[in-house]
Amino acid sequence: MTLGPLFDRVGRIPMISGTDILSGVLLCIAGLVLDDVDAVALTVIGAVLFAPALAAPRRARVD
């Protein structure tokens, strides 16, 4: 929802790529700190990681 205006300004394809890359980078960072994570923190990390990737297809529309 907060990424919606960026899809209009930047464009559909760059934003989908960007959100997927952002999720991948965040996943790599989370992999480095997974040794010291409890269940609640893991849930929060998962929500943060996949929120950008899930926002991209929902906002993308075929013109």
Evaluate whether residue 16 is within a structural domain. Answer: yes
pLDDT higher than 60, residue 1: no
For 34, the token pair is 């997974």
Evaluate whether residue 46 is within a structural domain. Answer: yes
Structure confidence at residue 26 (pLDDT): 79
Evaluate whether residue 33 is within a structural domain. Answer: yes
In single-letter form, the type of residue at position 14 comes to P
Evaluate whether residue 31 is within a structural domain. Answer: yes
| Residues 44/35, Cβ–Cβ less than 8 Å | no
Evaluate whether residue 63 is within a structural domain. Answer: no
Higher pLDDT, 42 or 60: 42
pLDDT higher than 70, residue 61: no
| Residues 27/49, Cβ–Cβ less than 8 Å | yes
pLDDT higher than 80, residue 63: no
Structure confidence at residue 57 (pLDDT): 61
Q: What is the extent of the structural domain holding 35? A: 4-58
Evaluate whether residue 54 is within a structural domain. Answer: yes
pLDDT in tens, 6-40: 777 888 788 888 878 887 887 788 778 777 778 88
Overall number of domains in the chain: 1
Evaluate whether residue 44 is within a structural domain. Answer: yes
